Structure 1
């Protein structure tokens, strides 16, 4: 936690909240990234706004990383992927595949992800989202405790 910066965290949270509010007020949709991405295929009639939202999300992250490199997760140091725990001897590609699949399965079981439940659901005072976020945080704490990855 030596790189914690409350100002940039508050700015990022504000921008995420603003983007979520604009999508909700302008399109009547919740900014749950797993739902937006997961409903791209099979292609339906509501694909265009999803593609625009995801493209803007990636473009904004890329642009902010280029324009303000000092605001990154590691300060001026480039961010790196979390490697498997030292004693586990799992190759990095397999580690990433398993992590991605577990994340996808979790979002399907939880009927949403941290952006849908944590940002939009809690803002709407959804009981289901409060429960989901409590489970997300509990599992994250357990995972960090068991793996030692911070």
Structure 2
């Protein structure tokens, strides 16, 4: 096994993790809300005008930050070895999973575990195991 040193960025990764943690902590401290993307987007799409502003701002930041980084000359577009049909199908399956798990990886993994939620710990363990299994099957058993 070798490490791709061009993609190995522990400093940037640590900084990004600290920023995500700080944003999640500020959202719960100042708004009493969990920084789970599926819940934020679901609340925006529900048609309710309750707490609309912060939801739009949060999602705009998720989209705007990488767009700004690209404009500033730091391209961060991932190399995805899949077609649009596969990407849309995967997104649909993730959406179904977030409904069954009552939340997404950000809500359970970042916020739930930090609050000591056993349900979030179990959900995150299942998310991770499923991801590992999917990569193993697609790369080793299906020859991808």
The question of 1:103 aligning with 2:94 is answered: yes
Partner of residue 89, structure 1: none
Deviation at residue 122 of structure 1 after TM alignment: 0.7
Partner of residue 108, structure 2: 117
User: Which segment is superposed worse, 2-11 or 135-144?
Assistant: 2-11
Deviation at residue 28 of structure 1 after TM alignment: 0.6
In the superposition, the TM-score normalised over structure 1's length comes to 0.82
Partner SS, residue 109 of structure 2? helix
d(CA) in 1 for partners of 2:72, 2:56: 24
How many residue pairs are counted as aligned between the two chains? 136
d(CA) in 2 for partners of 1:43, 1:96: 27
Partner of residue 60, structure 1: 65
Partner SS, residue 125 of structure 1? coil
Partner of residue 29, structure 2: 25
The question of 1:69 aligning with 2:74 is answered: yes
In the superposition, the TM-score normalised over structure 2's length comes to 0.86
The question of 1:14 aligning with 2:14 is answered: no
User: Which segment is superposed worse, 42-51 or 132-141?
Assistant: 42-51
Partner SS, residue 36 of structure 1? helix
1:57-110 deviations in Å (ceiling 9; x for gaps): 22222223433617x4xxxxx522232xxxxxxxx2221121011010011111
Partner of residue 80, structure 2: 81
Partner of residue 122, structure 2: 131
d(CA) in 1 for partners of 2:26, 2:64: 17
Partner of residue 88, structure 1: none
d(CA) in 2 for partners of 1:68, 1:136: 33
